[in-house]
Structures are given as structure tokens and as C-alpha cells.
Amino acid sequence: MHDSVHLTRCDPLCNMARFYRLEIAPDLFGGAVLLRQWGRIGTEGQGRRDWYSEAGAARAACDGWIRRKCARGYQAGGM
């Protein structure tokens, strides 16, 4: 179970070229980890890992991040 979503937001007038990547992966203890990575397109960016005891909770958190980012102008697709 490796689910991955890549979002981008580009606005040449504002010199904005950002990415946001979300990935759900299993951990060693039967739970799931939500990996988030963000930054300027062309860079490694920065990241964060959030651990959940169930894959469903990680999926719900991932869906929440996708909703928030799409509301701010991010779109699916990218690199």
C-alpha cells in the first residue's frame, strides 16, 4: 500500500512554483505513516512524517490535506 499524490501550484506573475507531495506507506508495526513533502519545484523541499495506528486514519488525514491544498489553488499532476 503505497499511495502517492503530487500537487503543484504555479503562478508566473507571482514567481510561484510550488509542489506538495503526500504518500501513505505501511510502517513496521501494522500502522501507517503519512509522508508530506513540500517546497519550490526543482528543489528537494522539506518534509514531515505523521504516524497513525490505522491506515484509515492516515487516509482521512491525507484527504484533509488534499482538500486544504486544492482550496488554496494546488492542482493534481506535476513533476
8 phi and psi angles, rounded to 5 deg: -135, 155
Give me the number of domains the chain comprises.
Answer: 1
Residue 63's CATH number: 2.20.140.10
Q: What pTM, to 2 d.p., does this model score?
A: 0.87
What are the tens digits of pLDDT across the range 36-57?
Answer: 999 999 999 999 999 999 999 9
pLDDT at 63: 96
What are the tens digits of pLDDT across the range 10-23?
Answer: 999 999 999 999 99
16: three-class secondary structure by DSSP:
strand
Q: Which domain holds residue 68?
A: 3-76
CB atoms within 10 A of CB 71: 8
Report whether pLDDT(2) > 90: no
Residue 1 confidence class, pLDDT cut points 50, 70, 90: very low
The per-residue pLDDT of the chain, averaged, comes to: 93
Angle (CA) 44 50 54, round 5°: 135
Question: Whole-angstrom Cα distance, residue 60 to residue 7?
Answer: 17
